[in-house]
Amino acid sequence: MSEAPIASRLQGQVVAFRADASLEIGSGHVMRCLTLANALQAQGAQCHFLCREHPGHLCEMIEARGFMVHRLPQEKNETETGIIPSSEPEPAHATWLGASWAQDAAASGAILPELAPAWLVVDHYALDHRWETAVLNYLPRSATRLLVIDDLADRRHIANLLLDQNLGRNAEDYRGLVPETCQVLAGPRYALLRPEFCEWREASLSRRAQEPGLKRLLINLGGMDKDNVTGQVLDALTNCDLPHDLQISVVMGATAPWRETVTAQAKAMPWSTEVVVNVSDMARRIAEADLAIGAAGSTSWERCCLGLPTLMVVLADNQREIADALAAKGAALPLDSADLGASLLGQLAMLDAHGALTAMSLQAAVLVDGGGSDRVIMALGSMHQEESR
């Protein structure tokens, strides 16, 4: 059967997403869910988001993209949920939820029955099989399937489908953490990228094959950057010997707490430096850049798809594995966040070598081809078709 008829099985179906953004969580979970939601919407699905309004939430942005957001209540005290508590240890990131898992499940369970989703997509490090079981008990189990998006492989799930798009990850990492019937989509082959990254890939890789010099530097250290690592990078760059005609572009989120400080700092840089917010043309900006200084999060796969050489900063412990894997493949060079100045000087010197930028570009591009979203949609559509028979 061709791909189109399978994917079209999602037409008219409701897909619900449970994901949060905050100053602590960052924006990556919501952003990759938005990528999947856009792809599902293109297949005729109706997508809804369930989010809690943490400081730095992205509810208004999700709504601006055309999706319904169901805001979960702020839970300050433990309340009666009717859900039997568990003595099982909490997930390592449980505090990210802003409520107990039982409170969150009860609040989500009050919303989901009316939506009657064909798929529930969960992208949250604070949630595990207990939340999933409790929420699905509010729904006809045979009618709703569960997709879990994860990066950690550190807790149990009852998923029908699990996506871990990280380099070096494989299905064996989830053995014993998911049911034997769960299909695991593992590795950057399944990286969730917007269609424009595929559209820009050929032009981007072709330009890099010509051995470009360092003329455009892209800095993107996450949508939140709560510790102002961007400012630290700009400070460190002022001590580096860079081309006088270098153009620097800093991409930040609208809710980044240090945005105004960074904007003022950019005006004092010795090179032309712009600060742009909530850009809608990230693929073009990556394609036109010669080097990036970026976080080791989900945007790593966007840079890889377009072959952008990257100096990578680890902003959170859960990014360490991605950074190490990319460095081992020669697709990025690590920066020491404890001593950015010396680290930048050393790594920029390495990139001065003839062919260094091109070699890193080729290693990055081979890891991600931009077709991950289509593959995930195909898996969703295929499973929906099989279970609807």
Which pLDDT tens digit goes with each residue over 275-287? 999 899 999 999 9
Nearest one of 305, 22, 363, 44 to 188, comparing CA atoms:
305
Find out whether 65 and 95 touch, Cβ atoms under 8 Å. no
- β-bridge partners, 69: 49
Task: Kindly report the backbone phi and psi dihedral angles of residue 105, in degrees, each rounded to the nearest multiple of 5, phi listed first.
Answer: -65, -40
What length does the chain have?
Answer: 389
Which pLDDT tens digit goes with each residue over 162-192? 999 999 999 999 999 999 999 999 999 999 9
Nearest one of 167, 164, 199 to 178, comparing CA atoms:
164
Which pLDDT tens digit goes with each residue over 100-136? 999 999 999 999 999 999 999 999 999 999 999 999 9
Of the pLDDT bands very low, low, confident and very high (cuts 50, 70, 90), residue 1 is very low
Which pLDDT tens digit goes with each residue over 10-27? 999 999 999 999 999 999
Structure tokens at 39: 């792809």
Classify domain 3-193+371-388 by CATH architecture. 3-Layer(aba) Sandwich (3.40)
The average pLDDT across 216-234 equals 95
Global pTM reads 0.93
Q: Does the structure show a pLDDT above 70 at 386?
A: no
Find out whether 305 and 195 touch, Cβ atoms under 8 Å. no
Between residues 252 and 86, the one the model is more confident about: 252
Which pLDDT tens digit goes with each residue over 23-50? 999 999 999 999 999 999 999 999 999 9
R_g (Cα) of the chain, nearest Å: 21
Domain regions of the chain by residue span: 3-193+371-388, 195-365
Q: What is the mean pLDDT of the chain?
A: 93
Q: How far apart are CA 28 and CA 266, in angstroms?
A: 24
Which pLDDT tens digit goes with each residue over 367-378? 999 999 999 999
Find out whether 338 and 315 touch, Cβ atoms under 8 Å. no
The average pLDDT across 281-310 equals 96
Task: Identify the DSSP state of 245.
Answer: T
Task: Identify the DSSP state of 106.
Answer: H
Nearest one of 330, 332, 340, 257 to 296, comparing CA atoms:
332
CATH fold match for the domains 3-193+371-388 and 195-365: yes
Q: Specify the pLDDT at position 173.
A: 98
Place of tokens 């014993």: 176
What CATH class is the domain 195-365? alpha beta
Task: Identify the DSSP state of 305.
Answer: H
CA atoms within 13 A on the CB side of 368: 32
Q: How far apart are CA 311 and CA 295, in angstroms?
A: 9
